[in-house]
Amino acid sequence: MADRAPIGSGWRERAPAVLIVFLLAATPLVARALGDPFIVKVATRVVVFAIAAVALNFVVGFGGLVSLCHAGLFGVGGYVVGVLAWHDFNAEPLLFLPGTSNLLVSIPAAAVVVGLLAAIVGAISLRTSGPYFLMITLAFNQMFYYGAVALQKYGGEDGLQIMSNVTLGPFDMSDRYRFFYLALAFLAAAMFVLGRVVRSRFGMALRAASRNETRVIAVGVDPWRYRLVAFVISGVVVGIAGALLAAGQQFISPVDMGWDRSGDLVVMTVLGGIGSVWGPALGAAAFVVLELVLSSWTSHWQLAFGLLVILIVVGLRGGLADLGALAFGRRGTETAHG
Amino acid sequence: MTSSLLIEQLLNGVQFGVMLFLMSAGLTLVFGIMNFINLAHGSLYMIGAFAGAATQAATGSFLLAVVAAPLAGAVAGLALERGLFQRFYARDHLDQVLVTFGTILALNEATRIVFGLTPLRMNLPDALAGHVEIIPGVPYPTFRLVILGVGLAVAALLYVVIMRTRIGMWVRAGASDRPIASAMGVNVPLVFAALFGVGAALAGLAGVMAGPILSVQVGMGEPILILALVVTVIGGIGSIRGAFVAALLVGIVDTFGRILLTPALGGMAIFMMMAAILAFRPKGLFPAHG
Amino acid sequence: MADPILAVECLMKSFGGLRATNDLSIAVERGECHAIIGPNGAGKTTFISQLQGMLRPDAGAIRLDGQDITREPAHVRARLGIARSFQITSLVPDFSVLDHAALAVQARSGHSFRFWRPARGDAALTGPARDALATVGLSPRATTLARDLSHGEARQLELAIAIAQKPKLLLLDEPMAGMGRKDGAAMTRLLAELKKDYSIILVEHDMQAVFSLADRISVLVAGHVIKTGAPDEIRNDPDVRAAYLGH
C-alpha cells in the first residue's frame, strides 16, 4: 500500500488544497491572456475529474475500500442531468415531473439519485471484502454501463447530447468561464468538507477500521455502518462530479462509465497519493494533462501511459503528494506492510 | 422458443461457458494461490488470438495456429510473471489492480502498433467449417462442438492433475492455506511461475478458439476478462470446481439473456446474478478458503 | 455464588473434529482478578475470543452482569463493557498513542456519526484518553505514532485502550507476551494497580506474575476447567501438577 501518512491538522494539511484551488482559479486569466479558450476547457475537465478522484479517495484512501464502480456512479450523475435536460428540451414530462436544465435542481437531483444508488451498491458489496469487494463493485459498474447502453430513448450506445441551454437559477451556464468557476467551487467545497470529515469522529472510526478492523470492533465500533455511510458520501460527491461533466461538455455517454474509466479514476487517485484529501486532485490534473500531451505527440499514447502507470506503482508509492514531502524531507520511504 | 432453438442456444451457452472456463481456470488459481488479481489475463487471451491469426496467415495452417496460441500466451505470461507481477504477490490489491491495469493499456497499444486497427479474420479448415446434425433437425456448427470438446477435455485433465497428482495436492493446499503450502518444501517461485504459465496458455488457447467466431482485434480481451472475473468470484476464488460450475452458469445466462432480453439488458443480467449470489454467499458458491 | 460479573455455562466450540472448548463453565466475581492457566493448546485464546465475541460458541451461555450476551456480536459486547487486550499487539500503525485511546473513548460514548468537529482537540475525547494513558504511564508518548513504539510500549498501549473503554470486565490475553524481565516487572506492578479498579480475566504464561496477581485461578486442560481455586490451592493440587507435568 502506498504510504499513508498520519493526517495532520491546521495549515500544513490545508495549504496544498488552497494552493491547488488558487492555481486553478488563475487558469482562465492565462487563457484570456493567451487568447486560448481551450485552456479553460481543459481546466474544467481537470476540475471535474479532480472532484471524482477526491470522492473516490474518500473510500480508497480513508476507508480502505478499492471501488471499481465509481465511473458507473459518475456516469449516472451525468445521465440525471442529461435526462432532465432532454425532457426540458423536448417539453415532455418525466413521469409526472417536468424536465429542467436548471443546475440548481439537476445537480442536487444527481447527488440524491447517485447517493441512493451508492447506498444499495454499498449495502450489498460491503457484505464481502478484499478481492470480492473489488469484483462486485466492478460488476455493478458494468451493470450501470449496460443500463446506460439500454437507454434507447436517451441515445443508447451513442450517448446523450444536451440540446437545451444549461442554467444556474437566472445565470446562463453555457459561458465557459462561468461554468469553470462553478465547478471549481464544487471542488473547493468537496476538499473542504471531506477534509473536515476525515478528521471528525466519523473519520477517525473509518480510518481506524480501514487499517485494523479487529481493533475497532474490539473497542465497540461496527465498521460496516461507517463504511456504508462513507460509500454513500463518496457516491454523492462523485455523482455531482458526473453532473458537472455532463453539463460542462453538454454530453454524456456510456463511454464515460466504462470499467476502464473506473480504472482511470483509481490511477488518478493513486497518482496523486491516497494519503491526503487533496492529493487525488493533483493526480487528476496530472492525468488529464498527461493524456492531452501524450495524445498530441502520438496516437499510441496509451502505450507510454500504461508503462508510466507500471513505473509509478513499482517506484513512487506515495504518489505525487510524496514528491513534495520528499523534497522537504518530511518523511522517508517505508515498507509496504506496516 | 422452439425446442430445437432452445437446444441450439443451450449448446451455445455451454460452449461459451467452456470458453469462459478456459479463461477462468488460470485466473482463479493465480487469485487463490498467489493472492494476485490479474486484470491483464484478458491481454493473454488477446495475445493468443493474434498469435493464432498471424500464424495462420503466415502458414495457412489452422492446426499450427492452435498450437502457436497457447505457446504465445504462456511465453507472454511467463515474461510478465517473472519480469513484473511476481514482485506484487505480497503487495496489496490496490497496487495489483494498478500494475495490471497499466499492463493492459500498454499491451493493447503495443498490439495495435504491430497489427494495426483492422480486425484480423481467422478461417476455419473445411473439415471444421460445416455443421453436424447432433439430433435430427438441429444442425450445429462443427467448430463450436470442437470448442466444447476441447474445453471439456481440458477441464477433465485439470481435474485429474489437481485431484490425483503431487503438484495438484500442493495446488489444493495452496488455495486453501498459503502458509502450509509454502511449508511443504517445494520451490515456490518455480511452482508459481509454472502455474501462471499454464493459466496463460489456457487463456491463449481460449483466444485462438474465439478467433474464428469473433473477430481478432485489440480490446477483445476485456469483455471476456470481466466475465471471467465474474466466474471466478461466483465460483469462489481458488476453486477450479467452482470456476467450472460458474462458467457454465454464466455462459448459459449470458446467452439466454441476450436472446430473451435486448443485448444491453442481457449484458446486465450476468452482473445482477453475480450481485445476487454474492449478497447471499459472500465467498462464492464453492469457497476454497475456510 | 451471588451475582458474578461474568458467568459462563457449558461453553462448547469445535473446529472440525477438534474440541477447543469443551463444556467450559466459569464464574468471575466482581472486582476479582481471575487467572486462566493451562498448557499450550488448552484453548485459552479460543475461550477469550468467545468471551469477546470474535468467535461464536457452538453451545452454552455467556452472561455479563446478568445479561445474556451469547449471541451478541463483538462490537456490541464492547459497548456492554467487555474490553480485550490482544495477545499479539493489534494497533493502527499511523494513529498516535492518544488517537488510540481517544477512539476507545469515542466508541464508548455512543455512535461516531459526527462528521464536522475535529476529533483531535475534542476535550470530551482527549480528556479521558489522557487519563487512560496516564494510568499505564504512556503520557510522555501521547503524540508518538503506534508504528514507532517499542514492543513494551505497544503492550502498554493495548492496556490503555482497554482501560479507556471503562469496561466492566477486562480480558487480558498474555499482557506480558514477548516482554523482557524489566518490562515484565513493570507490567506486573501496573496490573496490580489495575486490579483494584477492574474485574479481570488474565491469561498469562508467566507463573510468577499469575500467582502474585490472581485472586483465583482456573486451570484449563483440553478446553475444560479441571480446577478452580485460590493460588495456594492450585499450586498444591495433584491433578494440576499432573496436567502440567504429565503428558
Q: Which of B34 and C130 is assigned the larger pLDDT?
A: C130
Q: How far apart are CA A99 and CA B212, in angstroms?
A: 48
Output the average pLDDT for chain B: 87
pLDDT for the residue A110: 97
Q: Which of A325 and B109 is assigned the larger pLDDT?
A: B109
User: Cβ contacts (< 8 Å) between A215 and chain C: which residues?
Assistant: 90-92, 161
Sign of torsion over alpha carbons A338, A319, B103, B83: negative
pLDDT beyond 70 at B183: no
pLDDT beyond 80 at B229: yes
Mean pLDDT of B11-21: 92
Would you list the domain boundaries of chain A? 16-260
Using CB atoms, pick whichever of C120, C121, C147 lies closest to residue A338.
C147
Q: How far apart are CA B110 and CA B227, in angstroms?
A: 24
pLDDT for the residue B167: 78
Select the CATH number that applies to the domain covering B3-280 from these four: 1.10.8, 1.10.287, 1.10.10, 1.10.3470: 1.10.3470
CA dist A80 to A75, A100, A240, B104, B174, Å? 9, 10, 10, 31, 47
B271-287 pLDDT, tens per residue? 888 888 888 888 888 88
Q: How far apart are CA A289 and CA A45, in angstroms?
A: 10
pLDDT for the residue A187: 97
B-chain residue closest to A67, CA distance: B94
Sign of torsion over alpha carbons A57, A63, A68, A71: negative
pLDDT for the residue B171: 74
User: What is the CATH T-level fold of the domain C6-245, as seen in this structure?
Assistant: Rossmann fold (3.40.50)
- Determine the distance in angstroms separating the CA of A128 from the nearest CA of chain B, rounded to an integer: 5
User: Cβ contacts (< 8 Å) between A307 and chain B: which residues?
Assistant: 102, 106
Cβ B107–A146 below 8 Å, yes or no? no
With beta carbons less than 8 A apart as the criterion, state whether B48 and B111 touch: no
Closest CA to B50 of B70, B69, B67, B63: B69
Q: Is the ipTM of this complex over 0.95?
A: no
pLDDT for the residue A297: 86
Among C49, C54, C82, C112, the strongest candidate for a mutation testing the A interface, having the largest count of A CBs within 10 A, is C112
Q: How far apart are CA A272 and CA A284, in angstroms?
A: 7
Closest CA to C4 of C81, C80, C66: C66
- Determine the distance in angstroms separating the CA of A169 from the nearest CA of chain B, rounded to an integer: 36
Closest CA to B93 of A211, A1, A56, A128: A1
Which chains border A (3 or more CB–CB pairs < 8 Å)? B, C
pLDDT for the residue A337: 31
B70-81 pLDDT, tens per residue? 999 999 999 999
pLDDT beyond 90 at C242: no
Give B289's pLDDT tier (boundaries 50, 70, 90): low
Run of H or E including B208? helix B188-210
User: Cβ contacts (< 8 Å) between A147 and chain B: which residues?
Assistant: 264, 268
pLDDT for the residue B178: 61
- Give me the helices (H) in C32-122, please: 44-52, 74-80, 97-108
Count of alpha carbons within 13 Å of C221, Cβ hemisphere only?
Answer: 13
CA dist B179 to B169, B172, B237, C41, Å? 14, 13, 17, 20
C-chain residue closest to A336, CA distance: C93
B-chain residue closest to A136, CA distance: B275
Is the whole-model pTM more than 0.95?
no
B79-108 pLDDT, tens per residue? 999 999 988 888 888 899 999 999 999 999
Q: How many CB pairs under 8 A join A and B?
A: 145
Locate A142 and state its grid cell: 458494468
pLDDT for the residue A328: 47
pLDDT for the residue B180: 63
A-chain residue closest to C126, CA distance: A201
Percentage of chain C modeled with pLDDT above 90? 64
Would you list the domain boundaries of chain B? 3-280
- Determine the distance in angstroms separating the CA of A136 from the nearest CA of chain C, rounded to an integer: 25
Using CB atoms, pick whichever of C79, C93, C114 lies closest to residue A211.
C93
pLDDT for the residue B33: 81
pLDDT beyond 80 at B179: no
Residues whose CB falls within 8 Å of the CB of residue A32, separated by 6 or more in sequence, listed in order:
none
Closest CA to A75 of A282, A244, A268: A244
Across chain A, which has 338 residues, the per-10-residue mean pLDDT values are: 49 84 93 91 96 97 94 97 94 88 95 97 89 88 92 92 91 91 97 94 95 93 95 98 96 93 93 90 94 87 89 72 53 32
Rounded to 10 degrees, the C-alpha dihedral A222/A225/A226/A231 comes to 150
